[in-house]
Amino acid sequence: MPTKAELTAFIAARGGEVDKREIARAYGLNSAQKIELKALLRDLAEDGAVERRRRKVHVPGALGGVLLADISSRDADGELIAVPVEWDEEQHGEPPRIRVVTPRRGQGPAPGLSDRVLLRIFDDRAQEGLPTGRVIKVLEKARKQTIGIFRAAPHGGGGRIIPVDKKNLGRELQVPPGAEQEAQDGDLVSVELMRQRVFGLPTARVKERLGSLATEKAISLVAIHAHGIPHVFPPAVLEEAAAAKPVKLAGREDWRKLPLVTIDPPDAKDHDDAVHAEADEDPANKGGFILTVAIADVAAYIPPGSALDREALLRGNSVYFPDRVVPMLPERISNDLCSLRPHEDRPALAVRMVIGADGRKRGHTFHRVLMRSAAKLAYAQAQAAIDGQADEVTDPLVEGVLRPLYAAYACLKIAREARQPLDLDLPERKIVLKDDGTVDRVIVPQRLDAHRLIEEFMILANVAAAETLEEKRTPLVYRVHDGPTLEKLSILREFLATLDIKLPKSDQVRPSNFNHILAQVVGSDIAPMVNQVVLRSQSQAEYSPENYGHFGLNLRRYAHFTSPIRRYSDLIVHRGLVRAHHFGKDGLPEGTTAEQLAEVATAISGTERRAMAAERETVDRLIAHHLADQIGATFAARITGATKAGLFVALDETGADGFIPASTLGADYYRFDEARQALVGDRTGEMHRIGDRVEVKLVEAAPVAGALRFELLSEGAYVRGARAGARPGRRPAPGKAAVGKGRSFKPAGDAAGPARKGPGKPRTGKAGGGKSGPSKSGPSKSGPSGAGGGRKRP
C-alpha cells in the first residue's frame, strides 16, 4: 500500500487526476487492499489533500485532461498564455497561467489573444513551473471584448466609457476627441486601451459600435456582446437552411393518424416534443399504459460537418432572454421545418414506452416516423380542460387524449416518489415586459400538473435514449450530475447543526437525505433559507461521454434527447440513435471516439454556463433599470447570501438581487461565520444570516451593470457568545429565550417581522463606495437537473 504522501504524489504526477482503478493497477493491489485504498482516499479528501470529482480523485488546484481556457496574454518570449475558464479562486487562489503550444501551420487551429479554446494539458509542470497545453479547437475568436456604454462629452468630441461589468463599477475610461468612431451617446461599444498616462483616467479608443441602448428591447445586447454569444448567422449557414426541403414519408413509419399533441408555454415558437398515452390492453400489464414521446427529427436537416452543424456546435444551445431568443438554429429550421406544428406533416424520432401500474418502465422501442400533431396546447389550457373548463380546441381532446395522459402521469408519480429525486422548493420568477422592452411586472408562474406531466414524460424518454445507446454500444454524451463534494457537505452539515437539523455523517449521501431535511422545514420561516443552502451544496450538472449518473434526479444513466432544436447535446444523441437502429445515413459518423465526444461535451457545457450567466445578468439589468427611479424607497427582502464583504438580498416583490456592504451595517465590526452562513458583530453578537427577512432601503442603482446597493433597516438576531469562528452551539428551542445583555434571543431565521431601528441608533454607518458585488448564483437556475435557459425541463 502506498503512503498518503506517495499517493498524493502519484495523482499529481498523472496530471492531477486519476481514478481508483488506475491507482490499484499501478500498485498491484488485491481486493482487500482496494478496500483499504478507498478508506485512504477518504482520509485524504477529509484532509483536503485530494478532492473527488465524478469517479476520479484529483489534487486540488491541479490541471488535467481537457479544459476550457481563455488566451489572456503573451509572455516575454511572445508565447501565448491562457487561464482556465472555470476556477475556484476562493479555494485555490489565483488561476494558473498555462503555456499554450501553437501548432505548426496547417497542423491545427491557430489561436490568438482573447480566443476561447479547448486545451489538452500534456505537461502539468513544464518549463518555468508553468503547465503546458496544446490547442485542440478554437471555440470563439476574440471572445473577450472590453465593452461599455459611451457617454458623449457635453462640449466638443470624445467622452467616457461606463463599464457594463459589476466588477469594474466606478472604473470609467476616457475617450479623447477623435477616438469615438462616430459612436453616439448611449451606444454600446467595444474599445481598446490606448497608451496610459501616469495621472488621470485610463484612455481608450472605440473599436466598434455594437448598437444603441435607446432602441426598444436592446438591454440583452449587453449580455450578448459581454459574453461573446454568436447571434448573427453566417451567410453559408443561412444558405443551407434556405435550401433545406421538407422530409417525406420514404423510409419512415407513418404515424400521422396517432393523435399526438404538443404542450408548451403560450409564447413558444418552436415545438420539439409531442406526447400521447393510451391504456395498455395487455392482460399482463393491467393498469399500465403505452406512452409515446415524439421529438422533432433535427438530425434529418443538419448533416454532420455541415455549416449548420458547425454553427450549432459553436452556439451549443439557444439563449433565452426576456426580450428575445438567440436560437441555436436558423428560424427556417427551428420555427418551420422542425417545429411540430399542428395538422402539418413533420419528421420525428419517437420512443414508445410500456409503463406498469407502478409507474416503472417495462420496455421501450425507438421509431423514425412521419407524424402530424393533433393540437398545439399551452400548459394552462391543458390543465383547464382537465379541471372541467375546456375550450373549443381542447373539448374534443379531453376524453380520448388528455385524460389518458394524466392517468399515465398518475402512474409515473408513484415511481417518482419511490425514486426520491432531489425535491427543492425554489419558485422561479418571470419578467413581463411592456411594448417598449421595459419591465411591466415580475410574476411567479403557477406550477401545474401539466408542467409536471411533461417533465416526467421527458425524463423517461431521456432515460430510454441513454439505455438504448449503452445497449447498442454506441458513443453518446450523457447528462451527468455529481453528488456534493465532501467540503460542501461539511459546510452544509455545520450550518444545519446551528438549526438542530442533522445530516448523516457520510460521504455517500442520497437525494432522499436532503428531501428528509427539506420536509422538516416545509411551511416554516426557515424553509427558503434551507432550500437555498441545500441548493448551493450541490454540484453543477454537465455533459460528459463518461457516465457517473445523475445525482439530482437519482438516475443511474441519463441523456438529453428531447430538445434537439435548442440543445446540441440532444442532436448528438439523435444521431447516435439513428446509427444504432440503422435508420438512415445521417447518424453519428462511424469512427466517432469518446475523446472527440469529450471535446464536444466540454464545449457545450461551457456554452450552457455562458447562456445561464447571460440570462441572469440580463434579468438583473432589466430590474435595475426598473428600480433606478426609486432611490430611497424601502422594500421587504430576504438575505440570500453572506460573505466577508457583506450581505446579498433578494426583494420579495421583484426578486431583484442587491448587495449590502458589511461596512454599512453599523458601529460594530462584523465577521463572516461560515457555519451559520451569517455576519456576526464582534461586540454586540448581532447576527444577520442567510434566510432572514429584512427591510432594506435602495441607496444606489447602476442599471447598465445590473447592480443594486441597499442599506439595511432591520435589526438582526442577538446571540450570546456567537463570536465568528466559534463552534456553533445548540440553538435554543423556539419560544425559549436566552437572555444576554438585556436583550431577548430570537432564533436566526424565525420571522418576527423586520424591526426598524429606533431613534438614537442609526443603521446607516458609512455610505460605502458604490460596491455592489456580483449577484448570487447557484448550480443551475432550474436546480441540479440543469435545464439550461428558457423552457425549464430536465
- Per-residue pLDDT of 668-697, as tens digits, reads 899 999 888 899 999 889 999 888 899 999
pLDDT of residue 781: 34
pLDDT of residue 156: 77
If you average pLDDT over residues 251-271, what whole number do you get?
94
CB neighbours of residue 43 within 10 Å: 13
pLDDT of residue 256: 97
pLDDT at 744 exceeding the cut of 50: no
Provide φ and ψ at 328, rounded to 5°: -75, -30
Q: Could you give the count of Cα atoms lying within 13 Å of 211 in the half-sphere of its Cβ?
A: 13
pLDDT of residue 734: 33
Lowest mean pLDDT among 13-17, 269-273, 596-600: 13-17
Task: Identify which of 600, 556, 608 has the alpha carbon closest to the alpha carbon of residue 576.
Answer: 600
Q: Torsion angle, CA of 246/251/256/262, rounded to 10 degrees?
A: -60
pLDDT at 37 exceeding the cut of 90: no
Residue 396: what residue type? P
The DSSP line for 699-746 is EEEETTTTEEEEEE-B--EE-TT--TTSPP-PPPPTT----BTTB---
pLDDT of residue 52: 66
Q: From CA 24, how far away is CA 281, in angstroms rounded? A: 52
pLDDT band for 759, please (50, 70, 90 cuts).
very low
Higher pLDDT, 388 or 162: 388
Say what percent of the chain tops pLDDT 70: 81
User: Could you tell me if 325 and 229 are in contact, meaning their C-beta atoms sit under 8 angstroms apart?
Assistant: no
If you average pLDDT over residues 133-153, what whole number do you get?
75
pLDDT band for 13, please (50, 70, 90 cuts).
low
Higher pLDDT, 79 or 179: 179
Region at 525 (left for phi over 0; alpha for psi -120 to 50; beta for the rest): alpha
pLDDT of residue 766: 34
pTM: 0.76
E strand residue ranges, 219-336: 253-255, 261-264, 273-279, 289-296, 319-320, 325-326
The DSSP line for 376-415 is EEEHHHHHHHHTT---TTTGGGIIIIIHHHHHHHHHHHHH
Region at 655 (left for phi over 0; alpha for psi -120 to 50; beta for the rest): left
pLDDT of residue 343: 96
Task: Identify which of 780, 779, 640, 647 has the alpha carbon closest to the alpha carbon of residue 712.
Answer: 647
Lowest mean pLDDT among 653-657, 724-728, 759-763: 759-763
CB neighbours of residue 120 within 10 Å: 18
pLDDT of residue 776: 34
Q: Report the side by side order of strands in the sheet with 56-58.
A: 17-19, 56-58, 51-53
Q: From CA 45, how far away is CA 49, in angstroms rounded? A: 6
pLDDT at 732 exceeding the cut of 80: no
pLDDT of residue 15: 55
Q: What is the pLDDT of residues 194-220, one digit of tens each?
A: 766 556 677 888 888 887 776 656 788
Higher pLDDT, 137 or 94: 137
pLDDT of residue 47: 65
CB neighbours of residue 682 within 10 Å: 12
Q: What is the pLDDT of residues 333-359, one digit of tens each?
A: 999 999 999 999 999 999 999 999 999
pLDDT band for 255, please (50, 70, 90 cuts).
very high
Region at 788 (left for phi over 0; alpha for psi -120 to 50; beta for the rest): left
pLDDT band for 373, please (50, 70, 90 cuts).
very high
Q: What is the pLDDT of residues 357-366, one digit of tens each?
A: 999 999 999 9
